[in-house]
């Protein structure tokens, strides 16, 4: 068992595990940690806890942040605002089709990272030269996606709450239009898309439960047997477990609502053709097997056998032709002698 502590470097950033050593840290404390980019100042997001499996050796927590460390962090925040303004001016001067999202200063000012979004590839080599001449340090420009942009900037979603990605989501999960369809939501892109223009991340939250409930609920169009007789499912409510069945004995009357547990599926779907019986898939028809007779044991002619027979016939015709030619030569030679 290894002791770990979770540290976050941005307000909505990902939580990384570090080795606290002998320090007992609480959420909200600022600590100095060793990272791949050097020494950085981060905030404790998760207190000490034991972890059973640790993939690789964890970087150590060096110490708690002191007054000088806190002052440098505040200075870096002010420098990031100034660098943001200067970079936007340089982008406009070069006429680049890119949108600057944010700026990140390394704790020791050894590097400045500019995050931006763009529709395609951007040639920013001249921009990097101008920024390096302005700040006299290492410059990096990273192109990020629109979902990462929303995560960094934050905002209020159509539900009236802050963006999930800016609050608690650490990684983006794949979301598809199939999830909205299975959950019975409107397929209008404006209603199922977030502020970033992509499908809302919250479609993934209940997808596993919907998949389980869909297995237990008859689909619309399925032929079912109910306590009141045979019918076809007209509506299906997955969450409540209720279905509306249009009975065959009263086809013109409104559909009857009942529990999904009270109906038995006879055919899976009655839309667009003949229904497929459920029993047909469960009980396949038996196949009669008969013992072949001696006549049946004779192998049928194949392409290979036909080719062999054709080859034999061809070679026989060649031999006959050779005999005729030799006979003609002998006859002609005898006539010449006479």
Taking CA atoms, 281 is separated from 233, 269, 276, 277, 285, in Å, by 20, 14, 9, 7, 9
Q: Which residues contact 80 (CB under 8 A, 6 or more apart)?
A: 102, 103, 104, 105
Q: Which residues contact 163 (CB under 8 A, 6 or more apart)?
A: 150, 151, 154, 155, 156, 157, 194, 195
| CA angle, residues 262, 267, 273, in degrees to nearest 5 | 140
pTM, rounded to two decimals = 0.67
- Long-range interactions of 333-337: CB distance < 8 A, separation 24+: none
Distance, CA of 179 to CA of 210 (rounded, Å): 9
Per-residue DSSP letter, 261: G
Domains recognised in the chain with CATH numbers: 2-65 (no CATH), 72-144 (3.30.300), 150-204 (no CATH), 217-282 (2.30.30)
What pLDDT, in 10s, does the model give residues 77-127?
Answer: 999 999 999 999 999 999 999 999 999 999 999 999 999 999 889 999 999
Q: Average pLDDT by consecutive 10-residue portion of the chain (338 residues)?
A: 86 82 90 88 90 78 93 94 95 94 92 93 93 94 93 89 87 91 89 91 92 88 90 89 89 88 78 50 45 47 50 55 50 46
């Amino acid at each position: 068992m290894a002791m770990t502590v979770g540290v976050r470097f941005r307000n909505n950033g990902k939580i990384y595990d570090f080795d606290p050593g002998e320090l007992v840290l609480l959420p909200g404390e600022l600590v100095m940690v060793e990272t791949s980019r050097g020494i950085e100042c981060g905030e404790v997001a998760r207190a000490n806890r034991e972890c059973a499996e640790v993939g690789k050796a964890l970087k150590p927590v060096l110490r708690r942040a002191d007054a000088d460390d806190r002052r440098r962090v505040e200075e870096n925040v002010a420098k990031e605002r100034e660098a943001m303004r200067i970079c936007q001016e340089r982008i406009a001067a070069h006429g680049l089709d890119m949108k600057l999202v944010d700026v990140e200063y390394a704790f020791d000012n050894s590097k400045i990272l500019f995050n931006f979004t763009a529709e395609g590839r951007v040639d920013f080599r001249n921009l990097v030269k101008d920024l390096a001449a302005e700040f006299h340090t290492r410059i990096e420009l990273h192109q990020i996606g629109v979902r990462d942009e929303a995560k960094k900037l934050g905002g209020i979603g159509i539900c009236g709450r802050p963006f999930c990605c800016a609050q608690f989501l650490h990684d983006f999960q794949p979301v598809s239009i199939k999830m909205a369809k299975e959950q019975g939501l409107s397929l209008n892109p404006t209603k199922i898309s977030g502020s970033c223009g992509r499908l809302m991340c919250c479609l993934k939250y209940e997808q596993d439960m919907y998949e389980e409930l869909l297995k237990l609920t008859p689909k619309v169009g399925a032929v079912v047997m109910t306590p009141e007789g045979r019918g076809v499912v007209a509506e299906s409510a997955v969450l409540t477990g209720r279905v509306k069945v249009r009975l065959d004995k009263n086809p013109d009357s409104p559909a009857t609502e009942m529990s999904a547990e009270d109906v038995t599926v006879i055919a899976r779907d009655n839309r667009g053709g003949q229904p497929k019986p459920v029993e047909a898939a469960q009980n396949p028809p038996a196949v009669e097997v008969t013992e072949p007779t001696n006549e049946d044991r004779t192998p049928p002619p194949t392409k290979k056998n036909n080719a062999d027979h054709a080859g034999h016939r061809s070679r026989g015709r060649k031999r006959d032709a050779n005999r005729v030619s030799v006979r003609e030569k002998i006859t002609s030679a005898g006539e010449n002698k006479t």
